Structure 1
């Protein structure tokens, strides 16, 4: 049996860039083919939402960069003047979190560049994304290509690129050891600290390949022959960024660099893992094998989450993730409007959860251990090829 905990419904009000009246997650999501097409959804969205404005995108990015610079200068100048206890226990941790959140917004803009959502010009998109991601030690083209495959195969049990759920028979023995409160705490902390760098460097939690795969290896199976040169360029950019950080450490000191840059980067990496996980894992959304999967149903397995004011700081990758999967080239500044436009058509296929993020993370780690075909559900019966998350090992 699945655990009985049910998520709370949420609405987002126009003032909060959230959407009211959305279908509650009071039961499983429908797993039947939806009665609408992607063309139906596109027609419901105002045409201007698909216009990628270089000026507007640049303005949002510039605002983020100015806030990041001001915060770094203020922290570097003012925090050392505080008493030691206040610096260590309050000031620096607060700076790490605030700066990390702002940098997540920049990370999301770089990610949008990979989707072509920053401007109408491919060269501009790649140049901006390349520089922004290199500054955060992310190989831009490598991530761009693997992430597009994630979008192309979302919800598929065979081809999903990352965070692929396992059937019960493939669950490793150590899951049983960690299937308890202390084990879950350890799992969450380890995932937030190391999940993103392990995925990028070693494909941990990624789609299985025949041999070792890494976003830094241009010859691994993740990439096609025509992508390998750009993967090498991404590697070079990360190497140069790392060398630049080394020079900064020499000039300003390792401790200064770790405080100004290293701490916020840990927060960024943790949020990227958290956002990726919570926008795709929920006990009431299905997964599909090859007999049932199609792109539209797979894209509708995304879940919108409410991070409060951080929705804006994160450029709405959190609370408009469903529309992002349906129309990934849409700029983030139109995503809330587009979500409002399509929700009447999506109906119960639109999934949104307002459960507080910490509580939701604990619930999902507890309940979403593996997937299994099961009778019953929100679509009114059993269906071969449709799988649901389970938690009994």
Structure 2
């Protein structure tokens, strides 16, 4: 379950600051100096399997509850606290309304468990919710994690650079299942108000304009997921580049 207004506002911040190391809201990679010991311990095939399973199943709930992989605010932040630094003063009442909405849903689920039993609710509600969370993280992780995607500090970032630092992915027949969001994400960051049923047409219209700045990777999804988990561990500027505020992914 996702708090509606809370997610609306944090996602807006993400769109306004995409790939800014200082102000983006989510998927902020570590710099080399911040790579932890457990990242090094897990830098092997079994460790990557564990990392991917953990990220896909618990990544989204942990982001909502603890702001994991999110912007560093200097104090605890989450999507349920109206006083969280994620939100402005005028947004806090709506965050609280989102919390009340979630409580109402949880109460409805509790009544359903009483009526149908935990096993039935788990199968009919819990597993589908988990499936949504898994695919949501998989899709967004692959949209924002690729060796060709730079991140920028405050000396280099601007909105158009950030919006173009995403990549489309080809999920095959699942593109249609996911309303084409999988292979129209670059468009989504450039013109976010275009509805999904016009997204492919709009993407095809802007591709000739973007030219080399449009990015798509058609690598099979599970192969791509494994590759990015192996190669995109931390970011650092290229040593021989004069643009020290542009950071690129590296592997350990």
Task: Answer yes or no: same fold by TM over 0.5.
Answer: yes
The Cα RMSD (Å) is: 1.0
Question: Retained in 2: the 8 A contact 1:280–1:303?
Answer: yes
Distance 1:245 1:256 in 2: 11
C-alpha distance after superposition, 1:103-161 (max 9, x if no partner): xxxxxxxxxxxxxxxxxxxxxxxxxxxxxxxxxx2100000000000000101111110
For normalisation by structure 2, the TM-score amounts to 0.98
The equivalent residue for 1:228 is 92
Alignment of 1:101-120 (within 5 A): none
- What is the DSSP-based 3-state SS (H/G/I as helix, E as strand, rest coil) of the residue aligned with 2:10? helix
The equivalent residue for 1:209 is 73
- What is the DSSP-based 3-state SS (H/G/I as helix, E as strand, rest coil) of the residue aligned with 1:387? strand
Structure 1 or 2, whichever has the larger Rg, is 1
Which stretches in structure 1 are left out of the alignment for 5+ residues? Answer: 1-136
Give the superposition deviation at 1:383: 2.2
- What is the DSSP-based 3-state SS (H/G/I as helix, E as strand, rest coil) of the residue aligned with 1:329? coil
- Correspondence for 1:183 among 44, 47, 58: 47
Q: Does 1:252 align with 2:112?
A: no
Distance 1:158 1:172 in 2: 20
- Dislocated runs of 4+, deviation >2 Å: 381-384
Give the superposition deviation at 1:268: 0.5
Distance 2:20 2:35 in 1: 18
The equivalent residue for 1:391 is 251
The equivalent residue for 1:158 is 22
Alignment of 1:346-357 (within 5 A): 346-357=210-221
C-alpha distance after superposition, 1:20-48 (max 9, x if no partner): xxxxxxxxxxxxxxxxxxxxxxxxxxxxx
Which stretches in structure 2 are left out of the alignment for 5+ residues? Answer: none
The equivalent residue for 2:231 is 367
Indicate the structure whose relative CO is greater, using CA pairs within 8 Å and at least 6 residues apart.
1
Distance 1:386 1:206 in 2: 19
Distance 1:227 1:158 in 2: 22
> Greater shift after overlay, 308-317 or 211-220?
308-317
Q: Does 1:323 align with 2:187?
A: yes
Give the superposition deviation at 1:167: 1.0
C-alpha distance after superposition, 1:213-272 (max 9, x if no partner): 110000010011100000000000001001101101111111111011111111101111
Alignment of 1:1-393 (within 5 A): 137-375=1-239, 382-392=242-252
Aligned length, in residue pairs: 252
Question: Retained in 2: the 8 A contact 1:375–1:383?
Answer: no
